A and B are shown apart, each in its own frame.
Chain A
C-alpha cells in the first residue's frame, strides 16, 4: 500500500484515528470456526489452496468465540440449533460481525418448514447476506469484501 510512499523521509503518517482503527480491523477479522451444513464445506473450499482466504487476513479460524470477530453462519439454522447460535454470538467480544452465508441462513432457502429458522436474522443481527445454495467461494469472498467495506465506513462516535 501507499504507506511507504507517504512516509517519505519524515517517518510520519497523518490519518484519522477512525481510519486507522478501521484499517486494522478489516485486515484481521478472525472468523469463528463454525460450520452448520453444506455451506460449511464451501467455506472449507474457500480456505483451501485454490481460493485461499488468507489473502484477506482471514486464515486464522478461532474455535473459541471469545477470540473471534466474525461469525460466518454457514448453513441452515434449525430451531434446535438456534439457541446455541445465539449463545455463541453473545460470547463473542465486541466488535463483532455476522455474515449469513447461503440461502438457508439468510431466509430459510428451500426449507420453508417447521424445523428451520426462516433467516438467522431472527436471532442474531446480520451485517452481510450472501446468496447461493451453497454460495460459490467467489460469492463468499465478495461477501467478505463487502463486509470489509462496511467496516471501513464505521464511525467512532457510533460505538465509542
Chain B
C-alpha cells in the first residue's frame, strides 16, 4: 500500500485556511489548533480527507467553561471552549481542534456548527455537550437532551451552576436535618 508521508497538521491547516486558524498551542506534547467556529466543518473535513493527515477517528468532544466565580473568563477569547480530539489511525497521532464560542445573551445561545457529517460519532458527544454546557450544535439531527431528564432546568456542567450540595449529617446536626428531610410514605 502506498502511504503518503505524514504532513504537519499545523502547516497544512495554516496553508489551506489562513484566516480560520487563530492560534496554535503546544502543551505536554499535545498540539491544539484553535480555529474559527464558523469554519469548523470545513477544517474538519479537510483534516479527515487530506492525504497525509487522515484524522479518521473522533475520540472525544469536550466542552469547557472558562467562567470565573470572581468575574471574567480566565484569559481566554470567549467563555466556552469546545475541544475535538482527533486521532489518525494511519499515522498514529492525535490532534486537538478547539473552537471558542461566546456565551450569547438571554435569547441566543452559544452556537457551534456540527461535525456529524464528518464523523458520525460526534452525534451523541455533541448532544452531551449541549445538554451539559448549553452549547447548541447547529445542524445536529437530534437536539433533545441526552443525559439529564427532558424537563431539567439549566446546564449542570457550567461553572456557574451549583453543585447541588446537601448538608452532611453529623451527630450534632442530625436531628435538625432529619426534621426537614423528606421521607417517603407507603
Contacts and interface: CB of A to CB of B under 8 A. Distances in A.
Interface in B139-182: 147-149, 152, 156, 161-166, 168-169, 181-182
B168 A114 contact: no
Nearest to B154: A114
B184 interface: yes
Given A79-B149, A80-B148, A80-B149, A118 B183 contact: no
B131 to A, nearest CB: 12
A114 B163 contact: yes
A121 interface: yes
A122 B177 CA distance: 13
A124 B184 contact: yes
A112 B156 CA distance: 14
Contacts of B168: 112
Contacts of B149: 79-80
Contact of A125 (B147, B148, B152, B186): B186
A125 B166 contact: no
Given A79-B149, A80-B149, A108-B166, A115 B156 contact: yes
A82 to B, nearest CB: 10
B171 to A, nearest CB: 14
Contacts of B186: 125
Contact of A121 (B152, B165, B183): B183
Nearest to A108: B166
A25 to B, nearest CB: 17
A153 B146 CA distance: 46
> Chain B interface: which size bin?
10 to 19
B4 interface: no
A112 B148 contact: no
Contact of B184 (A79, A107, A113, A123): A123
Contacts, number: 38
Interface string B6-24: 0000000000000000000
A114 B163 CA distance: 6
Contacts of B183: 121-122, 125
A130 to B, nearest CB: 18
A85 B162 CA distance: 26
A112 B185 contact: no
A113 B185 contact: no
Contact of A113 (B147, B148, B165, B182): B165
Contacts of A122: 181-184
Nearest to A126: B184
Contacts of A115: 148, 156, 164
Contacts of A124: 184
B166 A114 contact: no
Interface string A91-115: 0000000000000000110001111
B184 A114 contact: no
Nearest to A122: B182
Interface in A38-53: none
A114 B165 CA distance: 7
9 contacts: A80-B147, A86-B184, A112-B164, A112-B168, A113-B164, A114-B162, A115-B148, A122-B184, A124-B184
Given A80-B147, A112-B165, A125-B183, 5 more contacts: A79-B149, A113-B163, A114-B162, A122-B184, A125-B186
